Amino acid sequence: MSKDTSAASARTLFVVAVVAAVLVSAVLAPLAYDAAQSAQSEGTVSVVTISGTITTSTVDGVSEDLREARTNESIRAVVLKVDSGGGLVAPSERLYLEVLRTAEQMPVVASVQGIGASGAYYGMLPADEIYVLSSSEVGSVGVIGPGGTVPVPDSIIRTGPDKAQPTAEDRRRTIESLKRQFVGRVMEHRGEELSLSREEVAYAKTYLGPEAASNGYADGIGALPTAIDRAAELAGMENYDVVRNEPPFRGGFFLFATEANNRTTVYKQGPGMAGPVPVTQPLFVDEIANHDPQLASYDTEVQHNASA
């Protein structure tokens, strides 16, 4: 082997070694950084999302996330990321009780992203603090429900005159009782901060962020990071990790297109489909099967039941 050939080989090996070192560093450096950060962490703030209509299904998911927070020793604080206009009475009550149970064990801070009204506001009441955006809407402390009586057909035999056929007065008393419970919980958890009387709370008005922070419905203006920082501070943590719990995706189909041989083909993909399916017919919006029967049943239920 000549002297020039040996020198060239040595240069090649050197370049390969440098490239390999760079690649290894690129892969391992972030891992090492994360490991160093985790080593410094004093605990975790769990961000639990409450979004959409409050139903049994949505509260089941939130309850599971809150139970994980209570039983996982590394989680020392919870932030409720709220964007909901409320929902059914019983799920809203369950949400309140789950948040209350969690707040008895660790700091809980609520962060209203868009709207936190009615049953959603009910659910976040046990939080130590509530933060809103200037554009957020909170409040609507009250209950609505049908007031009329639907006659039971003569073909149905009842064991008593009020079985499955409450009068309008019965419904009014029930709704009034639920309203008093809701208003009472607001006064119990927010009473010292509120500048509103019990009667004014019962008006069921919804307030924008700045007014809510002023009248005591909320504690301050701030985005999600503010709520996370505050939750960590209440838990006594300076260095902490954050874990986010998002509800499972339950949306419909999405579309995408490919081009080949000067021809564009549109595909659709969605839950339950093994892979993309070409859309071969002219595409209209109502041809996309974006319909979830389970969600439809919830909507019907919401419309025909009292909402907190």
Residues 219, 153: one domain? yes
pLDDT digits (tens, 9 = 90+) for 152-171: 777 888 888 777 777 888 88
pLDDT higher than threshold 90 for residue 14: no
Full domain range(s) for residue 259:
251-283
Q: Could you tell me which residue, 155 or 101, shows the higher pLDDT?
A: 101
Residues 273, 165: one domain? no
Fill in the DSSP letter of residue 54: B
Element holding 211 (H helix, E strand): helix 209-215
Q: Could you tell me which residue, 210 or 250, shows the higher pLDDT?
A: 210
Residues 61, 152: one domain? yes
pLDDT digits (tens, 9 = 90+) for 116-137: 999 999 999 999 999 999 999 9
pLDDT higher than threshold 80 for residue 2: no
Q: Are 179 and 143 in contact (CB under 8 A)?
A: yes
Fill in the DSSP letter of residue 256: E
Residues 128, 257: one domain? no
Domain count, the chain: 2
**Taking all residues of the chain, what is their mean pLDDT, rounded to a whole number?**
80
Query: What is the reported pTM?
Result: 0.70
Q: List, in order, residues 6 or more apart from 59 with CB less than 8 Å away.
A: 91, 94, 95, 98
Q: Could you tell me which residue, 100 or 263, shows the higher pLDDT?
A: 100
Q: What is the residue type of 6?
A: S
pLDDT digits (tens, 9 = 90+) for 248-291: 655 555 555 555 666 656 555 555 555 566 654 433 333 333 33
**pLDDT score recorded for residue 222:** 97
Q: Which of 115, 109, 176, 163 lies closest to 140, judged by CA?
A: 115
Residues 232, 160: one domain? yes
pLDDT (mean) for 286-300: 38
Tokens for 177?
A: 């009782």
